[in-house]
Amino acid sequence: MKSILLILSAATICFATCNKKLQKTADNQTETVQASAKPAAPNQSESPKQATSAQKPSTQVKPEKPSGGAMGNMTKEIHFPEEVHLKNVQQLTFGGENAEAYFSFDNKSLILQKTDKENGIECDRIYVGKIPAPGEKFQMKQVSNGKGRTTCSYFFKGDEKIIYASTHDHNTECPPVPDRKVVKKYVWPIYDTYELYTANADGSNPQRLTNNNFYDAEATVSPDGTKIVYTSNKSGDLELYVMNIDGSNEIQITSGMGYDGGAFFSPNSKQVVFRASRPESKSEVLEYKELYAKNMVAPSKMEIYVCDIDGKNLKKITNLGNANWAPFFHPSGEKIIFASNHQSDRGFPFNIYMIDMDGKNLEKITHSDTFDAFPMFSPDGKKLVFASNRNNGGTRDTNVFIADWVD
């Protein structure tokens, strides 16, 4: 879900997503349109932390698969002239659904989730890889155990351990996804079989952190290395929880009706930013409750919120309408970068935007006509990583891109 998740067609950003997922290509173009203004979650995770889009750009060039040290055919679809904050854009993955790529604390590696049914990866698996030098190929290794569905992965400070959510202890098979032709709307599944796990960075020595029959996912770790924030429905609704990295001293920090997810800590570890739906009308409340009872949410309306790590000083940052999600703090702690389709009346495209903490000075960062989401700054503030449907040759592939950041 965040992965999310999330959080969004054909899923993919732990709500992620992981999710953050909400996370994570739509089942088909028609469903993206029917979702009207909602994030498209990638097929692989279908979690509210993740998301990706099925809409295909009208002028796409089929990329060449990288061979040897080549990075592939860098076409005009990699970087658009209006994207002045991005420089030296590189496409890291080629094919499948790749999303929720997050930096290690030393700025040298990425952890992400991937589905690639053509190559036998039926639902999200977690991978780690070193960020390549320009012109080199991105090499990544699977670090989840290949069972169940996984989502919303993140490094611990020190980069020796990772955290992610998985369903494998409840069922080793990929869980079913909602039949949207039956539901008749775009939805994300809320799997009550997701549990949180920690492991060594190479995937060894996995340890279960939660143990219940609720949705536990979309976990991220504070920059100071002391706290974890994640989404769970153990209270009867999808809320945010903060706990110590060993699982102790847990507190619930949100309580409003609706989905709260895809949370990340501020650079000083004192706040969290997240996406939330807040059904207001009787019909919205009824729809939310009916879907929630079936372990689903419809993520068509979400806004960005910030609060302290104890839940105090809750503040709504955006009021844009449609789906605003996958937020992350600018390294200064004074701005928030996020994905949104608020300028669309069809549900797509999704682009990346940045806004001040007071909700002013909204700026459009990416200019694709399909799907850009899951932005994350490197801890040193020099890089931005994101997932996109650009340069996918007219397919549903969602790939990971990295760029130098220019303030």
CA distances from 310 to 60, 240, 247, 257, 269 (A): 46, 10, 16, 18, 11
CATH number of 29-405: 2.120.10.30
Q: What is the pLDDT of residue 157?
A: 98
How remote is the C-alpha of 140 from its chain's centroid?
19
Region 364-389 average pLDDT: 97
| Strand residues in 131-189 grouped as ranges (E) | 140-142, 150-155, 161-166, 188-189
Q: Give 38-86 as a DSSP string.
A: -PPPPBTT--SS--------SS--PPPPP-TT------TTS--TT-TTE
* Identity of the amino acid at 295: N
Contact yes or no for 32/82 (Cβ under 8 A): no
Quick one: DSSP state of residue 170?
A: T
Residue 41 has pLDDT above 80, yes or no: no
Q: pLDDT by residue (tens digit) across 64-120? A: 343 333 334 445 689 999 999 999 999 999 999 999 999 999 999 999 999 999 999
**Would you give the end-to-end CA distance of the chain in angstroms?**
30
Q: What is the pLDDT of residue 76?
A: 62
d(CA 251, CA 359): 27
Residue 23 has pLDDT above 80, yes or no: no
Q: What is the pLDDT of residue 144?
A: 98
Contact yes or no for 2/112 (Cβ under 8 A): no
Q: What is the pLDDT of residue 205?
A: 97
CA distances from 254 to 70, 258, 310 (A): 47, 10, 9
Higher pLDDT, residue 113 or 300: 113
Q: What is the pLDDT of residue 344?
A: 92
Q: pLDDT by residue (tens digit) across 123-159? A: 999 999 999 998 899 999 999 999 999 999 999 999 9
Q: What is the pLDDT of residue 14?
A: 39
Q: Bridge-partner residues for 243, per DSSP?
A: 228
Count CB-CB contacts under 10 A for residue 360.
8
Q: What are the domain boundaries of the chain?
A: 29-405
Q: With cut-offs at 50, 70 and 90, classify the pLDDT of residue 346.
A: confident
Q: What is the mean pLDDT of the chain?
A: 85
372-377 β-sheet, strand order: 86-91, 399-405, 383-388, 372-377
Q: What is the pLDDT of residue 22?
A: 38
Query: How many percent of the chain have pLDDT more than 70?
Result: 81
Q: pLDDT by residue (tens digit) across 167-226? A: 999 999 999 999 988 998 889 999 999 999 999 999 999 999 999 999 999 999 999 999
Residue 62 has pLDDT above 50, yes or no: no
For 263-280, b/e burial (b = at least 16 CB within 10 A) is bbbbbebebbbbbbbbbe
Q: Bridge-partner residues for 128, per DSSP?
A: 111, 141
Contact yes or no for 376/387 (Cβ under 8 A): no
Q: What is the pLDDT of residue 60?
A: 31
CB pairs under 8 A, 24+ apart, for 62-68?
62/393, 62/394, 63/91, 63/94, 63/391, 63/392, 63/393, 65/94, 65/95, 66/94, 66/137, 68/137
List the structure tokens of 296.
């689903």
Omega within 30 of 0 (cis) for the link into 349: yes
**Stretch among 12-16, 114-118, 335-339 having the lowest mean pLDDT:** 12-16
d(CA 36, CA 304): 19
